[in-house]
Amino acid sequence: MVHLEGRCLCGAVTVSADAQKPMLRACHCDMCRRQNSSAFVSIATNPQSVEIDGPVKVYRSSEWAERGFCPECGSTLYYAALHDGVKQLAAGLFDNAGGAPLKLEFFVDRCPQGYAFAGDHKRLTTADTIALFAPKEGEDQ
Ligand SMILES: [Zn+2]
């Protein structure tokens, strides 16, 4: 188990979480890129262990998700799907991105042509990503 402690740019918000084996995921969707300039890179942590202290402003970015940010400095804090409320913390809050390796890219076909993430990890297209998160038939949302 790894204990991670991070903070926003101005330090008004501090975050902490535990992770069995921290790993990074990058999302290239249009909303993440518009908010974060490039891909939104989040770190996978134990959801129940996430603690956020300080002022947080929440922006409801779609019918299914919201995004938390620091109202003082604007740092991205997390992405959370409304159906489970799990906060996917921004990797940039942690020194060296928590020392975690990049394991997954979402919406990789939405990545601008001018750059790409190197490395041998899983890359999901828009269709792959939607299939992964769409509710299965007969399942409650
Ligand atoms: Zn801040």
77: CA distance to ligand 1 center in Å? 9
138 domain-assigned: no
121: CA distance to ligand 1 center in Å? 31
108 domain-assigned: yes
Number of compact structural domains in the chain: 1
pLDDT in tens, 40-57: 999 999 999 999 999 999
Q: Which residue has the higher pLDDT, 26 or 133?
A: 26
114: CA distance to ligand 1 center in Å? 30
pLDDT in tens, 67-102: 999 999 999 999 999 999 999 999 999 999 999 999
27: CA distance to ligand 1 center in Å? 22
Residue 140 pLDDT exceeds 80: no
128: CA distance to ligand 1 center in Å? 34
Residue 103 pLDDT exceeds 60: yes
94 domain-assigned: yes
Q: Which of 106, 113, 111 is nearest to 131 (CA)?
A: 106
Domain extent at residue 35: 2-53+88-133
